[in-house]
Chains A and B, each alone.
Chain A
Amino acid sequence: MKYLPTVGLEIHSHLATETKIFCGCSTGFGGEPNSHSCPVCLGMPGVLPVLNRRTVELAMRLALRVGGEIRHRSYFARKNYFYPDLPKGYQISMFEYPLIRGGCLEVDTPGGTKFIRLNRIHLEEDAGKLIHQEGHADSYFDVNRCGVPLVEIVTEPDFESLDDISRFLNRLKEILVFSGVSRGNMEQGDIRVDANISIRPEGQKELGTRTEIKNMNSFANVVSAVSYEIDRQTGIVETGGTVVQETLLYDADNDRISPMRSKEEAHDYRYFPEPDLVPIVVSEEWIERVRSELPPLKDEFINRFKVEYMLPDYDSETLAASPDVAVYLDDMVKAGGDPKKSSNWVLGKVLETKIDINEFRKNVPPDELVKLQEFTDDGTISGSIAKMVFDDMAATGKSADVIIKSSGLTQISNRDELEKLARGIIEANPKEVEKYRAGKKQVMGFFVGQVMKLTKGKANPQEVNAIFRELLS
């Protein structure tokens, strides 16, 4: 007998906001434990949540990308359970009236485009972190992650192969990251996945009993956990057993699944509407404004770079690998930069700095880098000087103009000055002059190099070349 797997996913993604969903604390990752905290996210008595409206806009971006219905009125709900990482004893989430219903994600597969339907997308707050130290009886609590905003994306059980899952997750991540919805740092837990899995004999319509695997933080783990679970369930059914509804944890290090809680132990979350928050009311105007601000997706960038900017495929794809890099290049071109020269800067010196592009951008805005290129183009400085100026810009945040003026790096194109230097070199090197005149034209490099040495690289090399040719002919 052949068994068909049915898989549905729940994806939790952190939203790329500066502050938490219900208070003004930072969402920054890696702060000192409990440094991002206030009475609100600590769940002190008497405090109240206030919705960060940016979270609604980011979720709306996702809805617009996947064709979900943004409901004009939605409500938060309290999800009640006791756990030490949950300060209020309830999580503010959404239940009966989520922000977004429906939607669909197109996934390209070798067999053609597949459509994975979405059930809902809603907003909620993350819990804190518990820190257990070996050898210590006590556990410690870090509140920094409490209240970091999340979207929960719930799919329909539309996955029929492991490949589908992997392609879907990568496509979803691309959309989240390129739409500015999530930073997508997997190692920081920005995207976490739960999977619901069941199997049924081929030919049977009704779905089998499902199990749920919780809290996986890499896509590879999701695929191996689901694969493991399908095998496990198949094994049970084939030996005449029945699959029990339960919640499971996947141990990636040992490729093992262990039970977390059974159906009997399942929480009754006692959801009810959150009385401390008013309904989220979304107008058509708001939706249209968010739509007009939607940043391009990866494909749109690649297309623009290839077709409009005439960049080579390699450049286009490399630049579009990160939305922030792509935007940087785009901004350079919009500031008047030549697309190919701009691409050379970004793929060369800029990425070589290994500085996060958004940090880099604070020191070197795209239009400043375009100006630097212009100084090279108009002969004010040489290409090699430009690279030095770039390093200074990246390190200090000074403008190209200021650096060039203050350090006298302007290229020497003054003919009289250069000719004087050239005559001196010809006089001092009779042997080389002889060689050149005998036809060894490559000696020209030596002459030019000498001038460059004397001018510390500031001489205009084309000009120097021309002068030597004239004097030696």
Chain B
Amino acid sequence: MHVPINTVLKQRKAEGVELYEMTAQDLAKTIRKGKVSAVEAVTSVLTRIEQMEPSVNAYITVMADEALARARELDNRTARGEDIGPLGGVPMGIKDCIILGGARTTAGSRILEHFIPPYDAHVIERLRDAGAVFVGKTNTDEFAMGSTAETSYFGPPKNPHNTGMVTGGSSGGSGAALAAGECIAALGSDTGGSIRQPASFCGVVGIKPTYGRVSRYGLIAYASSLDQIGPMTRTVKDAALVLSVIAGHDRRDSTSLDEPVPDYIAELDHEPRGLKIGLPREYFGEGLDPAVKRITLAAADTLAGDGVEIVDISLPHTGYAIPAYYLLATAEASANLERYDGVRYGHRTKNPANLYEMFARTRSEGFGAEVKRRIMLGTYCLSAGYYDAYYRKAQKVRRLIKDDFDCALKTVDAILAPVSPTPAFPLGSKINDPLQMYLADIYTISLNLAGLPGLTVPAGKINGSLPVGDHPVGDHPVGDLPVGVQFMGRILEEGTLFRLGAALERHIGRFPVVRGEGS
């Protein structure tokens, strides 16, 4: 049923694959064997960025000179016979909420428009040691607050599959860059779905690891107890490869887990036969686009054909996830964003009359509407007299949601669900309706509250021009909108998710990079 995607890929192979279309795994191997140089790989991607950026806007900052210098350094090392690492020469896009020393890091906000940090995130150190080349900082909702990347101060990225549509968010820039061939692999961060949802909208793979699996040191905090960095790639294997590089304990993050990192790549070779997955009935109810539902159920059928047992399960507190999330996340955010006061770095207002005015005007000018909305919501929720009714109650709900997952995952090995109720929707269509916007994360938020891992894998395409409910499944030409499905698993069992994702990918094929200059 999804054969056409593979057909496109086969056709591409016959035409010759461009370097920017390759997977991280293949590209690193090709560079290691000396068939192409890191400079050639980086040049291919940089050229592609130049070509696509006017219509996609995936990047806030492109680091062409730094990337080429780094590629030359890697080529010199290869020439000396050195092993440059499992990601040697692979051009990567880094979400602009992740600190990359020496490069402008904005978190999509005016308040950090000119901020150049003097230190690196833990994940950046790990990737650099593994030989990755950073080609730029990808677009994001301001401080990762949004579901479409439209709250970015630097303008929204556009979905390469249809540039009238959103990329999803907040890691929309990373999703778009992958889909358009503007990087080979990317990092995103996921607080309520910010990796998984744009991965679904852009037709790529994204994993939110278990909370604590990847160090948050150097991730600009939105909601500390929910934030997690994860890979976004074009294949499941690439996601496994990147996660194996960035996962592991870091003593600079007290919430980082001191647990061994399994061989994720080896997991991919295990057939999923014998695994049991649950379909949570609360995720298939009202509000779910029928086509998205059909694609998700089709994915279940496909896996059933591989010997995976499919059962119905219940996550009874699902309906409380969004209110609990918007109390806890905004409460933490209201404190996390207090440091942007104009005193030490970042934007500072001109000629304030006094201290209070400096704080107030700096923040009024520096933050956008959605960030202000969340700061106010969080401040309110923590205020004297409201704490028990909001924050404390939301913490209790969080516990119940976690218990739901723990209970369900005692009987099944993983959970399969839609990522978002709809495919990508038109730019601007929800930006003025926060409640509608928040619903785009209805199937992803619970997992962050539970601290568990979740993987998005492309599962089909929908014709975006047809009205909701009228989409035939599969068999669509390039240009239509991708839809992913989500596997959710037990704590630290990312391997099981990769196993299931790889099995689905074997049937459906990976989505090819969008050709041409966008539409």
- Answer whether A and B are interacting partners: yes
Interface residues of A (CB under 8 A from B): 39, 42-51, 78, 80, 82, 84, 87-90, 141, 268, 270-272, 275-278
Closest 4 pairs (CB-CB, A-B): A89-B338, A270-B382, A275-B224, A275-B225
A278 x B339 contact (CB < 8 A): no
B339 x A277 contact (CB < 8 A): no
Interface residue ranges of B230-277 to A (CB < 8 Å):
251-255
A141–B339 CA distance with the chains assembled, in angstroms: 15
- CB neighbours of B339 from chain A (8 A): 43-45, 87-89
- CB neighbours of A50 from chain B (8 A): 251-254
- CB neighbours of B254 from chain A (8 A): 48-51, 276-278
- CB neighbours of B387 from chain A (8 A): 270, 272
**Which single residue of chain A is at the shortest CB-CB distance from B379?**
A270
> Separation in Å of the A396 CB from the closest CB of chain B?
40
> Separation in Å of the B308 CB from the closest CB of chain A?
36
- CB neighbours of A46 from chain B (8 A): 97-99, 117, 121, 216-221
Query: Is B284 engaged at the interface, CB distance under 8 Å to the other chain?
Result: no
Known: A78-B335, A84-B355. A45 touches B117 (CB 8 A): yes
Given contacts A82-B341, A276-B221, 10 further A-B contacts (CB under 8 A): A45-B115, A45-B117, A46-B218, A48-B254, A49-B254, A84-B341, A88-B339, A89-B339, A89-B341, A268-B384
A45–B359 CA distance with the chains assembled, in angstroms: 17
Q: Which of A39, A49, A271 contacts B119 (CB 8 A)?
A: A39
**Which single residue of chain A is at the shortest CB-CB distance from B363?**
A82
- CB neighbours of A90 from chain B (8 A): 335, 338
> Separation in Å of the B306 CB from the closest CB of chain A?
40
> Separation in Å of the B381 CB from the closest CB of chain A?
9
- For the residues of A in contact with B, the DSSP-based class is loop
B99 x A45 contact (CB < 8 A): yes
The 5 sampled A-B contact pairs (Cβ below 8 Å) are: A46-B218, A47-B119, A82-B341, A275-B223, A275-B255
A78–B337 CA distance with the chains assembled, in angstroms: 13
A45 x B382 contact (CB < 8 A): no
B255 x A43 contact (CB < 8 A): no
A84–B224 CA distance with the chains assembled, in angstroms: 23
A44 x B345 contact (CB < 8 A): yes
- CB neighbours of B443 from chain A (8 A): none
Interface residue ranges of B322-374 to A (CB < 8 Å):
331-332, 334-335, 337-339, 341, 343-345, 355, 359
- CB neighbours of A80 from chain B (8 A): 334-335, 338, 382
**Which single residue of chain B is at the shortest CB-CB distance from A82?**
B359
> Separation in Å of the A276 CB from the closest CB of chain B?
5
Known: A82-B359, A270-B379, A278-B254. A47 touches B218 (CB 8 A): yes
Interface bracket on B = 35 or more
Query: Is B37 engaged at the interface, CB distance under 8 Å to the other chain?
Result: no
A84–B355 CA distance with the chains assembled, in angstroms: 9
B335 x A48 contact (CB < 8 A): no
A43–B30 CA distance with the chains assembled, in angstroms: 42
A39–B111 CA distance with the chains assembled, in angstroms: 18
**Which single residue of chain A is at the shortest CB-CB distance from B217?**
A48
A276 x B255 contact (CB < 8 A): yes
- For the residues of B in contact with A, the DSSP-based class is loop
A45–B341 CA distance with the chains assembled, in angstroms: 12
- CB neighbours of B343 from chain A (8 A): 84, 87, 141
> Separation in Å of the A92 CB from the closest CB of chain B?
10
> Separation in Å of the A353 CB from the closest CB of chain B?
41
> Separation in Å of the B283 CB from the closest CB of chain A?
27
- CB neighbours of A48 from chain B (8 A): 216-217, 252-254
B224 x A276 contact (CB < 8 A): yes
Query: Is B436 engaged at the interface, CB distance under 8 Å to the other chain?
Result: no
A141 x B335 contact (CB < 8 A): no
- CB neighbours of B337 from chain A (8 A): 89
Q: Which of B97, B107, B253, B383 contacts A270 (CB 8 A)?
A: B383
A90–B119 CA distance with the chains assembled, in angstroms: 22
Query: Is B118 engaged at the interface, CB distance under 8 Å to the other chain?
Result: yes
**Which single residue of chain A is at the shortest CB-CB distance from B117?**
A44
> Separation in Å of the B192 CB from the closest CB of chain A?
15
Known: A45-B339, A46-B220, A89-B338. A272 touches B331 (CB 8 A): yes
> Separation in Å of the A207 CB from the closest CB of chain B?
22
A89–B379 CA distance with the chains assembled, in angstroms: 13
Query: Is B391 engaged at the interface, CB distance under 8 Å to the other chain?
Result: yes
**Which single residue of chain A is at the shortest CB-CB distance from B385?**
A268
A89 x B335 contact (CB < 8 A): yes
Q: Which of A49, A88, A277 contacts B338 (CB 8 A)?
A: A88
> Separation in Å of the B221 CB from the closest CB of chain A?
7
**Which single residue of chain B is at the shortest CB-CB distance from A38?**
B119
> Separation in Å of the A132 CB from the closest CB of chain B?
12
- CB neighbours of A268 from chain B (8 A): 383-384
A80–B107 CA distance with the chains assembled, in angstroms: 22
A409–B382 CA distance with the chains assembled, in angstroms: 75
A47–B334 CA distance with the chains assembled, in angstroms: 16
> Separation in Å of the B388 CB from the closest CB of chain A?
11
Query: Is B297 engaged at the interface, CB distance under 8 Å to the other chain?
Result: no
> Separation in Å of the B40 CB from the closest CB of chain A?
33
Query: Is B105 engaged at the interface, CB distance under 8 Å to the other chain?
Result: yes
**Which single residue of chain B is at the shortest CB-CB distance from A139?**
B355
A51–B255 CA distance with the chains assembled, in angstroms: 12
A42–B121 CA distance with the chains assembled, in angstroms: 16
- CB neighbours of A49 from chain B (8 A): 254
Q: Which of A84, A87, A272 contacts B335 (CB 8 A)?
A: A272
A280–B168 CA distance with the chains assembled, in angstroms: 39
- CB neighbours of A276 from chain B (8 A): 221, 224, 254-255
A270–B105 CA distance with the chains assembled, in angstroms: 29
Query: Is B112 engaged at the interface, CB distance under 8 Å to the other chain?
Result: yes
> Separation in Å of the B95 CB from the closest CB of chain A?
12
- CB neighbours of A271 from chain B (8 A): 382
> Separation in Å of the A137 CB from the closest CB of chain B?
11
> Separation in Å of the A421 CB from the closest CB of chain B?
70
Q: Mark B71-113, 1 if CB is under 8 A from A, else 0.
A: 0000000000000000000000000011100000101000010
> Separation in Å of the B212 CB from the closest CB of chain A?
10
**Which single residue of chain B is at the shortest CB-CB distance from A76?**
B254
A45–B223 CA distance with the chains assembled, in angstroms: 13
Known: A268-B383, A275-B225. A42 touches B344 (CB 8 A): yes
Q: Which of B112, B225, B335, B383 contacts A45 (CB 8 A)?
A: B112
A379–B148 CA distance with the chains assembled, in angstroms: 89
- CB neighbours of A82 from chain B (8 A): 338, 341, 359
A278–B256 CA distance with the chains assembled, in angstroms: 10
A89–B363 CA distance with the chains assembled, in angstroms: 13
A89–B111 CA distance with the chains assembled, in angstroms: 15
Name the residue in A82, A87, A278 with the highest tally of chain B Cβ atoms < 10 Å from its Cβ.
Answer: A82
> Separation in Å of the A323 CB from the closest CB of chain B?
33
- CB neighbours of B217 from chain A (8 A): 46-48
A51–B253 CA distance with the chains assembled, in angstroms: 10
B220 x A45 contact (CB < 8 A): yes
A141 x B224 contact (CB < 8 A): no
- CB neighbours of B220 from chain A (8 A): 45-46
- CB neighbours of B331 from chain A (8 A): 272
A49–B105 CA distance with the chains assembled, in angstroms: 21
A141–B342 CA distance with the chains assembled, in angstroms: 13
- CB neighbours of B379 from chain A (8 A): 270
A88–B335 CA distance with the chains assembled, in angstroms: 8
A272 x B344 contact (CB < 8 A): no
> Separation in Å of the B322 CB from the closest CB of chain A?
20
A49–B254 CA distance with the chains assembled, in angstroms: 8
- CB neighbours of A51 from chain B (8 A): 254
B391 x A272 contact (CB < 8 A): yes
- CB neighbours of B119 from chain A (8 A): 39, 44, 47
- CB neighbours of A84 from chain B (8 A): 341, 343, 355
> Separation in Å of the A411 CB from the closest CB of chain B?
57
**Which single residue of chain A is at the shortest CB-CB distance from B97?**
A46
Known: A90-B335, A141-B343, A278-B255. A45 touches B105 (CB 8 A): yes
